[in-house]
Structure 1
Amino acid sequence: MFKRVSRIRSGALSAALVLVASVVSADEPVIVLHEDVAWRAVGNSGMEMAVLAGDPAQAAPYSFMVKVPKGTRLPPHAHPDAWRHSTIISGTLLWAFGDTFDEASMITLTPGSFWTEPSGANHYGWARDGDVLAVGTAMGPSGMVPVGTE
């Protein structure tokens, strides 16, 4: 048997985390249908994130999806997660590791492209040509640290 995660009407991350944490256990699988994915805004860039399983605030694995709207530039930043693994599902993302946004150093990630982010590795991206959907897994606790604010 499995528990199905229901849609969350509120955009509050805390509500999403409480619901997901309440159904995730080592003994019980979780299924989240496309129509039940609970998206929340990330900052004011138009980006959205959905936590699918786990709790990014905990020192444990979690799974997530990210929508990046066309034209969004992700400035250099890092995450405190122990590790992150991500895959592009749709769209094209320009991507690079480093402390300064440098278009010339970016590589093109198309659907099926995979990358890892070691803890604290500064990186940046750009959904220059269209919307991007990515899925990932990581080991929390999570957060975002803009370059130059440590």
Structure 2
Amino acid sequence: MLNRSFIAKVLAISVASWIGVEAISQSEASKSAITILAASEVKWQQLNPLRGDKSPKAATLWGHRTGPGPAGFLLKPVDGFSSPPHIHNVAYRGVVIRGLLHNDDPKAEHMWMPTGSFWTQPAGGIHITAAKGNDILAYVEVEDGFGVLPAKEAFDSKERPVNVDVTNIVWQDATTVAWLHDAGTAKLAFLWGTPAKDSLNGTLLKLPAKFSGKIRSQGQSLRAVVIQGRLKHQSVGGNILPPGSTFASEGKTVHSVSCAGGVECLIYIRAKGMFDVSS
């Protein structure tokens, strides 16, 4: 479901995206280490141990999924999975990486979201999650320790869920967004937060096939998750980072990346502050 408040935020963010970004030279970039975690190296465990083998698997990419503070993790349900009605103690955001996912009120008709789709689930809201397809995978992000609770403990957080199919995402290019420097190459979609200095925000970055360029982090931190495509990062010697992989940095940092093969690359970026992209 796509409510009016979300549309208003998208429009406000579109205007805000005209805000300029600072230029960063390679010498100005932070020399702090870039962290890389390939999807093949993650450690899987049950998302909800109380459900045993019926629980989807989860793999933490950063932070502590069940501990205090923000965290990001991969969600891996099996084909045909459908949860019982339940709630979570905190709100979360999700991006579909592979397969089809449904997340909504228990009585709602299934709306299957494909790769690149984005959804949010407020804390306390009763819902179900269902999945179908082969090798299903999604990225989930929380701002505090994540827990699964029975529907009888539901409460109203005053927030409402949002489901955005990838076909409904609003993409902008260098003609409308100062964060992109080269027309006809990268595209950006603002998903949540405030795209400004020292502010937390989430975006989707789309790079065309055979793109080669730089993502310059200008803020306090940048965390990226590969959603689609064959992305290469200079820090791993040009090796492919498949969907579900992540790279991150603190402070001003330059990430040299390329999109290999004939398929465009899609990257989810959580940033504290701004970043820009050039080829």
Q: TM-score, normalised by structure 2?
A: 0.39
Contact 1:93-1:128 at 8 Å conserved across structures: yes
The partner residue of 1:72 within 70, 74, 81 is 81
The residue aligned with 1:61 is 70
Q: What is the identity, as a one-letter code, of the residue corresponding to 1:146? A: P
Flag the structure with larger Rg.
2
TM-align CA RMSD? 2.1
Deviations 1:69-124 (A, max 9, x none): 0011111111112x311000000112213xxx33x522111111100112112211
Aligned-partner Cα distance in 1 for 2:34–2:122: 28
**Secondary structure at the counterpart of residue 44 of structure 1:** helix
Unpaired segments ≥5 residues, structure 1: 1-26
The residue aligned with 2:96 is 88
Contact 2:92-2:120 at 8 Å conserved across structures: yes
The partner residue of 2:54 within 45, 49, 61 is 45
> Number of residues paired by the alignment?
119
Aligned-partner Cα distance in 1 for 2:92–2:150: 17
The residue aligned with 1:33 is 38
Aligned-partner Cα distance in 1 for 2:153–2:33: 40
The residue aligned with 1:24 is none
Q: Deviation at 1:58?
A: 3.1
Aligned-partner Cα distance in 2 for 1:56–1:114: 20
Unpaired segments ≥5 residues, structure 2: 1-31, 155-279
Q: Deviation at 1:50?
A: 0.3
Which gives a bigger RCO, structure 1 or 2 (Cα 8 Å, sep 6+)?
A: 1
Deviations 1:2-61 (A, max 9, x none): xxxxxxxxxxxxxxxxxxxxxxxxx76532122211111233215210011101233311
